[in-house]
Amino acid sequence: MPRLPSPRGPVSELLLTRLPDEPATIPPVECCPTDDPLSDEDLQLALYLCYELHYRGLPGVDDRWEWEPSLLALRRELERAFEHALLAAVPRMPASVPAHEIDLALRAIAEEDGPSLSSYIRISAGLDEVREFVVHRSAYQLKEADPHTWAIPRLWGAPKAALIEIQHDEYGSGRVEWIHAELFARAMRALGLDPEYGAYLDIIPGVTLATVNLMSMFGLHRRWRGAIVGHLALFEMTSSIPNRRYADGIRRLGFDAEATLFFDEHVTADAVHEAIAAVDLAGGLAHQDESLGADIVWGARALGHLDERWAAHVLRCWGEGRTSLRRGPAALEGDAVANPAVAAG
């Protein structure tokens, strides 16, 4: 991350003011009431910053902040608001789901209709819209697989083996050039975007950050180990077809494999991961502990809900002729790339 983002409200302002200093006690802060915590700019940015301390850290911020008790207390309050809003939007099932029904329950969620951003990109999106889409996705894809990796030490036996098999592929099977986050960086570069980790955090809206914060919250809390497994299972089960469409849309604009390899790789890899994630990982965990069945399904449903909100936001903004990012095209100045299809014509 090249620099810290600008604050978006009182909580993120407090964090961004204090974090560059030596670790010290942060005064208690009451999260301001908000009509929609699931997309609130201040809440989602503040939570993203708290979580980032557990990943690659923040520029100019002492690593000791990661375990500062007062910062963790603030994060707990942000998580509480986020979790309560999630549970209100996506209630948990009153009873657990039997282990032998987990696969069917996940497939039913995967088959639910929602706004098809991938279809729009395949058929209609222009270059600026594709580049905006990639900027949105960079909040997660540049650290792809890391949130789910938090679940590895929380599992054992067959589910652990299944998760490690999936993650091994996500991290390039030991080859740095095939790490999926590296493939995404190559796609960004080919599209004329800055591939540096966190380069666009300042313009990525809260509705997008919420989709990343969801998996960080699940992965960092042992009590949500079922939810992070359900999240990953649905993630893998609903990946192949959209990624084929994304790749087709980018090729339609005249770009070559350097821009599409990330998406093409997911068409193949996630088709293999689908059965492993649904049956061996999610189903295997439910067989080990049937009490986690409801959490597995809820984690998948929470992913589906937030992804639908994000896709609807992006498509609505584009339909209204405005940017889906926090700032317009000027925010990407200096990153322009000629449309190769236009240049060739």
Calculate the alpha carbon distances from 119 to 26, 76, 133, 241 in Å: 46, 38, 13, 10
Q: What's the burial of 220, exposed, middle or buried (CB within 10 Å: 0-12/13-18/19+)?
A: middle
- As a whole number of angstroms, the distance between CA 98 and CA 94 comes to 13
pTM above 0.85, yes or no: yes
Residue 269: the pLDDT is: 76
Q: Which residues make Cβ contacts (< 8 Å) with residue 294, sequence separation at least 6? A: 92, 93, 95, 96, 97, 226
- As a whole number of angstroms, the distance between CA 213 and CA 218 comes to 8
What tokens appear for 204 in the block? Answer: 């990525």
What distance separates the 2 farthest-apart alpha carbons in the chain? Answer: 61
Residue 166: the pLDDT is: 96
Mark residue 333 as left, alpha or beta (left: phi above 0; alpha: psi -120 to 50; beta: remaining).
beta
Residue 337: the pLDDT is: 58
Query: In the chain, which residues have pLDDT < 50?
Result: 342-345
Please provide the CATH number assigned to the domain covering 99-344.
1.20.910.10
Q: What's the burial of 25, exposed, middle or buried (CB within 10 Å: 0-12/13-18/19+)?
A: exposed
Residue 9: the pLDDT is: 95
Residue 344: the pLDDT is: 44
Q: What's the burial of 235, exposed, middle or buried (CB within 10 Å: 0-12/13-18/19+)?
A: buried
C-alpha atoms less than 13 angstroms from C-alpha of 42 in its C-beta half-sphere: 17
What tokens appear for 154 in the block? Answer: 């929380």
pLDDT tens for each residue of 181-209: 999 999 999 999 999 999 999 999 999 99
Reduced to 3 states, what is the DSSP secondary structure of residue 62? Answer: coil
